[in-house]
Amino acid sequence: MSQLIGKVAIVTGAGSGIGKSVALLYAQEGAKVVVSDINEKEGAETVALITEKGGDAIFVKADSSLPEDNQKLVSLTVEKYGALHIACNNAGIGGPSAPTGEYPVEGWDKVIAVNLSGVFYAMRYQIPAMLASGGGSIVNMASILGSVGFANSPAYVAAKHGVVGMTKNIALEYGQHNIRANAVGPAFIITPLLKDFDEATLKWLESKHPAGRLGQPEEVAELVLFLSSEKASFITGSYYPVDGGYLAQ
């Protein structure tokens, strides 16, 4: 039985990686999916994969760091499909690698704008639309680094910790209005975010995971689907790692 029949979902950063896998799985489970990404070509490819299999999806180009783009994304979703029930706020960037005392200020500003402010802007406009639709489920893509530190990534760590905190706030503020919010914390997943890592670095990262490997986007998408569905109806305000045992150490 398809889990998301009759639901309308937004997925940000859905042109590649985890967001793409989430969008494809949402559609497979019956949702109408609004695919959002800053990369128009990749976003259109995700939509094509969905529609080729008989799914219903549209692409909306949006920069998650801009409040006006987030507002437009929600408005176009409601205009097209009449409601909003699910949002996976996944868009994110890695940013520079440097210790805090040397970290480039412009790099900090960009990472915070996309990875933290972008999630706030998304929810700022998604929540009113969900309230008008009778409620919904928000899944924010945090990271294992929403729970622990990682040397030379101060902006990313700060942003992802902030995402976990905001997620808890939504649960407190909107729990009685039938809106749930949860955060997912992937470890290192094989996505374009790792494209600039050399083989030695990737092997080192693998060694940090007790499972002995990096994760696949589809493995994260399965958890996102569960949290988005009615099967998780009493789950809100929580943080769920998908980490191959990384945080167990």
Provide the 3-class DSSP secondary structure of residue 89.
strand
Residue with tokens 């167990």: 248
Q: For the chain, how many helices (H) and strands (E)?
A: 8, 7
CA proximity to 127, closest of 91, 173, 164: 173
**Angle at alpha carbon of residue 42, lines to 66 and 32, rounded to 5°:** 80
Please spell the DSSP secondary structure of 151-181, one letter per residue. TT-HHHHHHHHHHHHHHHHHHHHHGGGTEEE
Q: Are 183 and 212 within 8 A, CB to CB?
A: no
- Pair of tokens at residue 154: 């101060």
For residue 186, the cross-strand partners are 242
For residue 189, the cross-strand partners are 215
For the annotated catalytic residues, the residue numbers are 156
Give, as one character, the DSSP assignment of residue 189: B
